[in-house]
Each structure stands twice: as structure tokens, then as C-alpha cells.
Amino acid sequence: MTDTHTYACDISIVIPIYNEAENLPDLVARVDEAMAPSGFSFELICVDDGSRDDSARILRDLALRTPWLKPRWLMRNYGQTAALQAGFDAVEGRYTVTLDGDLQNDPLDIPELVRTLEARSDINMISGWRKDRQDAAINRKIPSLIANRIIARVTGVRLHDYGCALKAYRTELVRRIRLYGELHRFIPVLAFEAGARILEIPVRHHARTKGVSKYGIDRTFRVVLDLLLMKFMLRYLHRPLHFFGGAGLWMGVPGFLVCVYLTVLKLCGASIGGRPLLLLGIMLVLMGAQLVGLGLLGEILIRVYHEPEGRAQYRLRPPPEDA
């Protein structure tokens, strides 16, 4: 796909930073080592996510002597997703690469990923796969293995490793994705929803040597809820009435029939006041009407959603070329 936009450099590297003071100097040095010989022009956007340690100041000092380092500082700790989005909002390169600030990802992989993106015009995004992952098995690798299987199956976006922070994008794709909540884990799904074609490539992974992980096992539950959201967005984002209205009809129609039946009994002289069925009938009708109403409201919201900047529901692609 030809991208006629002019970019300030080849690669924008985006790294969210929360309490990584011990890693920052190494991180910047390693990015330099990896990028300098690659021939790509680049910028490094480090987003300080309201760190409580010295990260913010270290970042400022590093930027004074590093021309390609563009730091951003968030007001408070918003979380990794918002920090990533803050980075995305500042990218000026043709390609955008994200990684973690704790040196678990290896900057040496960056030129490789971008070269692959350059070579494969059919691909919009590459997701890293920590094939040889260096984390504890019990509380990290095993839960993540299960989560990856479930996410792949539920969303239909078949990747081995959703959680890998090392990813490379064509920047025009980054501009089409907006991250909310903790959805950075589901970026491939959001990208897929935005029409991207994704490639997964094994990347290096190292154990964390300095600083501590910011997450515990409790994230599992949040992931389940986010998964529900993703499934909904993939299937029903553009037709919420089918989701809510569907459930509404399944309740409302039987409820209505129950009420008709009871009305007939009543007209024939029977007493229906004490029957539990009456309660059930009324409840089903009410709930059904509520759900249909919710679906209609959703339809209005999706129109509002697509309104700003003329965001389209679809994306066109150029005609297929013969291989």
C-alpha cells in the first residue's frame, strides 16, 4: 500500500516508563547501539507514566544530551495503555515500534522487524513472539499460555503471544487505533478490527535484571472482562441492536405469549392474580423491552462514534495483484 504522507524519520520507538530509573540509562544506550548501525533514522519517545522514582528527572537529563530522545511526562500514573497512547500521539516516523522499558525486549530486534515490514507490503503490523520467554513459569508463563490460547480462540485472531510488548506497525495503522482502559494487551485484536493484516515473528526475550514487574496475578480477572469487550467489539460494534435486541426478543416474545395466554384465561373467568406465571410474563416483557431500547440506544451511539473526523466503518484496499 503506498503511503504518500511525509514523515520526519523512519522509525518512532515508543516506550512506556513507570519506575524504571535503574534501567533508563542502559535502555537509551542499547537503543543507540541497535539503531546507529542500522541506517534507519529514528526517534525514541519515552513516556514517563507518573513514575514515583527518579525516572522523570533521569529522562530529562538524558534528553539534554541525546538529540533523538523525545520524552513525554504524564501528570500521574495512568497505566501502560494510556502511556502507550500518549506515545502514539507523538510519533512522527513512518514505522512505529513499541517495547518495554525494562530491557526484557531487545532493541536489536527493531531493525529486523522494520525491514520485514518494508519487504512485506501486504502486512501492516508485526507482533513479537517471546518463543523463549524468560519469566517465572508458575505465575507468568503458564497463566499467559492459557490466556493466549483463549484469546486466540475467542477472537479468531490467531497469535501465540498477545502480551509481547515488542511490536512494529506502519504508522498509518497506529493512527487508526485508539487505546482505552487496559486494552494494550489486545492491540492485535483492535488492529484486526481496524482491517490490519498481522504477522507474528519470534523475538529475543531477557529476564528482568533491575527494577520490579508492575503487575501481579490479579490482572487475570481484568483480562477476562476485556476479552468479553473484544468479542463484543469484533462481532457487534457496528450492530448493537442485533446483540441487545436479539436477547430482548428472546425474552419479550415468550413473555408476550405468556401474558396473552393468561389474558385468555382471565377472560374465560379464571383467577390469575396468584399465579407465578403472571409475574414471569410481566418480567420477561419488561426486560425484553429494556434490552431492545438499549440496542436502539447503542445504534445511536455507534453513529455518534463514527461522526468525528468522518471515521469510516470500513477501509478500502487496492485491487489484488496477481502473485
Per the CB < 8 A criterion, the answer to whether 240 and 295 are in contact is yes
Q: Is 79 left (phi over 0), alpha (psi -120 to 50) or beta?
A: left
Kindly tell me which of 80 and 124 has the beta carbon lying closer to ligand UDP.
Answer: 80
State in angstroms the smallest separation of the CB of 213 from Mg ion. Answer: 6
CB 208 to ligand UDP: min, Å? 6
Q: Which does 200 bind (CB under 5 to 8 A by kind): Mg ion, ligand UDP, none?
A: none
Q: Which one of residues 13, 14, 18, 71 is an interface residue with ligand UDP (CB under 6 A)?
A: 18
The C-alpha cell 379464571 sits at 270
Q: Are 176 and 194 in contact (CB under 8 A)?
A: yes
Which stretch, 174-182, 198-206, 208-216, 297-305, contacts ligand UDP (CB under 6 A)?
Answer: 208-216
Q: Would the CA dihedral through 217, 222, 225, 227 be positive or negative?
A: negative
Q: Per-residue x/- marks for ligand UDP, 41-80, CB under 6 A?
A: --------x---------------------------x-xx
- Of residues 43, 100, 161, 200, which one binds ligand UDP by CB under 6 A? 100
Contacts within 8 Å (CB) and 24+ apart, 192-196: 192/155, 192/157, 192/234, 193/233, 193/234, 193/237, 194/315, 195/314, 195/315, 195/317, 196/124, 196/125
Number of residues that bind ligand UDP (CB under 6 A): 16
C-alpha–C-alpha distance, residues 81 and 182, integer Å:
5
Of residues 86-125, those binding Mg ion (CB under 5 A)? 100, 102, 104
Beta carbon of residue 246, minimum distance to ligand UDP (angstroms, whole number): 37
Question: Given the rule CB under 6 A, which residues bind ligand UDP?
Answer: 16-18, 20, 49, 77, 79-80, 83, 100-102, 104, 213-215
